[in-house]
Amino acid sequence: MAPNHEFSIDIRVPASTANLGAGFDCLGLALELYLHVRATVMSLPGAQAVARSRGVPGTADLPTDPDENLIFRAMNHAAKHERFRLPPIRLAVQNDIPVAAGLGSSAAAAVAGSLLAFAVAGKPLAKDVALQCAAEMEGHADNVAAALLGGLVVTFARCDGTIGVVQKRWPKMVRIVVVTPQCTLETKKSRAVLPKTVPRVDAVHNLQRSALLVAALDERRYDLLWDALQDRVHQPYRQALIPGLDDALAVPRMHGLLGVALSGAGPSVIALAIDNFNEIGKEIAGRFERRGLSASFQTLEAAQEGFTTSDKRLRQR
């Protein structure tokens, strides 16, 4: 398959939720909600890169200009990082991931772009390079690692700036109820309210609980997840940005509910549950609605697999 001949590559990348309570900027979980992208290499002389998008509300308004579109930007970043040139591309995007909702829409786009850059240029995939490029675009690795690899991921930054990741399977019986209030919150704004330092007691609190989350999942001690999702480092500071978030996070224990946390930078909230999904979703959504925000909810399974693609080279992971 020569890169100067017209051909198409399809790729599917999952949504993700990050932090999972106390695991700020290190824990991520892929979700069965997807970004679909078809990239067509155009062979006509003088062809210009172009994109069209459709899907959930807000998707059609995403930039089509290659200089502004995040998938194009990620492709160009990966090409610059690895010193190769990209042919002119046409993108067709079907996005089912809510935009600016804390469900990893930008991370999915960064991963899709990074992977497609290798494919359309005829380059073999290096997963660690794709992860590095996407994380540089996103600014943190938790969402992009989950979108790339699937399942639960634990990420860390090495002293040389490279990203390390451990992937773990998520228990199938534990589903994720995602409650999304009808407001958007840019990650940049949500991160701007966080303090530069936190009290040691709060840091220790989060260290204990992020470690507890991984241990509890390994040992199937789902009764410990309620404690494991408690956070003191980011959620308290973000509550002022999202009306009703304080009430949503304070939902009492109920049948089937294992714990509640803010999804990434918000405004979505996730509830880990093993039963009673609709009632849990209604209860949390109602807490936003009492504060004047309409809210929707859906029950998702964890995506145990990360990206999938029609390109054989990218499937060799």
CATH number at residue 54: 3.30.230.10
Domain assignment of residue 2, yes or no: no
CA-to-CA distance for 70 and 48, rounded, in angstroms? 17
Domain assignment of residue 89, yes or no: yes
CATH code for position 271: 3.30.70.890
Give the phi and the psi of residue 22 in degrees, each rounded to 5: -80, -15
Model's pTM, two decimal places?
A: 0.92
Domain limits at 200? 175-300
Number of structural domains the chain divides into: 2
How confident is the model at residue 313, as a pLDDT? 62
Torsion, CA 74, CA 76, CA 82, CA 88, rounded to 10: 130
Q: Per-residue DSSP letters for 292-313?
A: T--EEEEEE-B-SS--EES-HH
How confident is the model at residue 316, as a pLDDT? 46
The answer to whether residue 4 scores a pLDDT higher than 50 is: no
Residue 7's beta-bridge partner residues? 41
CA-to-CA distance for 308 and 290, rounded, in angstroms? 40
Instruction: Say whether both 139 and 216 belong to one domain.
Output: no
- pLDDT tens digits, one per residue of 148-189: 999 999 999 999 999 999 999 999 999 999 999 998 788 888
Q: What would the two tokens of residue 1 be?
A: 């398959």
Cβ proximity of 295 and 288 under 8 Å: yes
The interaxial angle of helices 70-82 and 105-120, nearest 10 deg, is: 50
- pLDDT tens digits, one per residue of 12-46: 999 999 999 999 999 999 999 999 999 998 876 66
- pLDDT tens digits, one per residue of 74-91: 999 999 999 998 988 989
Strand bridging mode 89-95 / 50-55: parallel
What sign results for the dihedral spanned by CA atoms 293, 298, 299, 300? Answer: negative
